[in-house]
Amino acid sequence: MNAFPGRTARAEQGWFKAHKWLLLRRASQLGILVLFLAGPLAGIWIVTGNLSASMTLEVLPLTDPLLLAQSMLSGAWPVMSGLIGALIVLVFYALVGGRVFCAWVCPVNLVTDLAAWLGRRLDIRASGRIPRDARYWLLGLVLLFPLATGVIAWEYLNPVSIAHRGLIFGMGWGWTLLLAVLLYDLFVVRRGWCGHLCPVGAFYGLIGVKPAVRVAAAGRERCDDCMDCFAICPEPQVIKPALKGAAQGIGPLIADMHCTNCGRCIDVCGKNVFGFTLAYRRAGLGLSEPVGDGASAVAATRHPVSSQPGG
């Protein structure tokens, strides 16, 4: 596969344009970490707790619904703030897309993206195969444990919470898990953790099956089969129906719940095929022009940004 997906986009539209959503995403991931870390490191208490449950400015509770579900399955009954927090999170991800958590919040994404990047650059072909639905089995297991044993066993292994809690409250040996994920993704199964196994991602995917924000291949007729989007996408199977489904009458919307709304396909496409779109625009899937980059594609031709550094 292409070791440098996005090269054409970069050459034609500039480095920033070819990394726009990536930069925004990293800003979001790191920004969230900074908010959590500002308290313990600088004494600026904006958000306390961690991704499992947090309190923002002493008014906004947020709770990880999957963890709260496990807690409740073990027989505990949460307090109101815990329930409200979980509800807010559920509604939020149901609107923006469940796996937005993966692309925009989860700290493990930094590791698995690094693994994917290294794999492309070093041309390491992790050839292991496991079914992509293994994650749902794991999700079942994760929920079964507290029910059967009364213990949230998954929390002894969960790289997502161990990474996030580790960064904020002290890592201990948590880094070994992250290293394991990195090596697994790099050498065993490509996109092996987030794309095949992670039950947290699977859960978030399930709560945001029909979100209001989605990527659409609105300009699919411009596609020149460079395959860059397939190379960069953490869940490449989601692209094909939207990009190549015109003949079968499949709309250009990436409707698959596994899409993480990371926007990297938008970045790397030199032909501005993709763009984010809002639900109200996709009535009947007859969307004409996606918001975001499809629209700015026109602008891009008028104001070329290729003069930007790295372009």
- Measured distance CA(143)–CA(78) in Å, rounded: 17
Edge-to-edge strand order for the sheet containing 47-50? 47-50, 53-56, 60-63
Q: How far from 213 is each of 43, 151, 261, CA to CA, in Å? A: 36, 36, 8
Q: Is 171 in the site for another protein (CB under 8 A)?
A: yes
> Smallest distance, Å, CB 202 to another protein?
12
Min CB(66)–another protein separation in Å: 10
User: Does the footprint of ligand SF4 cover residue 54 (CB under 6 A)?
Assistant: no
Window 212-251: contact mask with another protein (x via CB under 8 A) = ----------------------------------------
Q: Which range binds ligand SF4 by CB under 6 A, 12-20, 54-62, 101-109, 168-176?
A: 101-109
Q: CA-to-CA distance for 249 and 238, rounded, in angstroms?
A: 16
Residues 106-145, interacting with ligand SF4 (CB under 6 A): 106, 108-109, 112
| 86, two tokens | 């979980």
Residue pair 271/110 in contact by the 8 Å Cβ criterion: no
Rule CB under 6 A: choose which of 47, 139, 177, 194 binds ligand SF4.
194
Can residue 297 be called a binding residue for ligand SF4 (CB under 6 A)? no
Nearest approach, Cβ of residue 262 and ligand SF4 (Å):
9
Q: Is 49 in the site for another protein (CB under 8 A)?
A: yes
Instruction: Find the distance separating the first CA and the last CA of the chain, reported in whole Å.
Output: 23
149 binds another protein (CB under 8 A): yes
Contact positions with another protein (CB under 8 A) in 128-147: 130-131, 133-134, 137-138, 140-141, 144-146
Extended strands (E) in 32-142: 47-50, 53-56, 60-63
Our finding on whether 43 is near another protein (CB under 8 A) is no
Angstrom distance (rounded) from CA 303 to CA 236: 31
Whole-number Å distance between alpha carbons of 111 and 199: 17
* 112's tokens: 């698995």
Q: Does 257 bind ligand SF4 (CB under 6 A)?
A: no
Single out the residue of 20, 99, 165, 264 in contact with another protein (rule: CB under 8 A). 165
Q: Whole-angstrom Cα distance, residue 168 to residue 157?
A: 17
Residue among 152, 134, 141 at smallest CA distance from 194? 134
Residues that bind another protein (CB under 8 A): 39, 45, 48-50, 52-55, 61, 63-64, 67-68, 70-71, 74-79, 81-82, 85, 130-131, 133-134, 137-138, 140-141, 144-146, 149-157, 161-162, 165-166, 168-174, 176-177
